[in-house]
């Protein structure tokens, strides 16, 4: 019984650290996260939405737009977090 209670408290603590989704889809459907000064290629939209959320939690701007397909060359790659 104590082990179950500890497990539940652990899960609640992990979820409380971040409001970003911890569930990532494994489908490969490339998308591009766009900011004015950089781009970020991701394997799918849900991955980029999560990266954008984590950037915002770390005080950086989230992507202003996420488009289908790979990013066009010419801008540097945005930092992950």
Coil, strand or helix at 32: strand
Residue of 15 and 66 predicted with greater confidence:
66
pLDDT digits (tens, 9 = 90+) for 37-46: 999 999 999 9
Specify the pLDDT at position 40: 97
d(CA 76, CA 54): 19
Helices assigned H by DSSP within 21-66: 45-57
- pTM of the predicted model as reported, rounded to 2 decimal places: 0.72
Phi and psi, residue 76, nearest 5°: -70, 165
d(CA 5, CA 78): 40
């Amino acid at each position: 019984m104590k082990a179950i209670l500890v497990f539940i408290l652990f899960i609640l603590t992990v979820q409380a650290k971040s409001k970003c989704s911890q569930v990532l889809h494994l489908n490969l459907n490339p998308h591009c996260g766009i900011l004015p000064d950089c781009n970020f290629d991701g394997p799918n939209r849900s991955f980029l939405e999560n990266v954008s959320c984590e950037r915002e939690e770390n005080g950086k701007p989230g992507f202003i737009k996420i488009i289908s397909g790979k990013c066009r060359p010419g801008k540097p790659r945005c930092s992950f977090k």
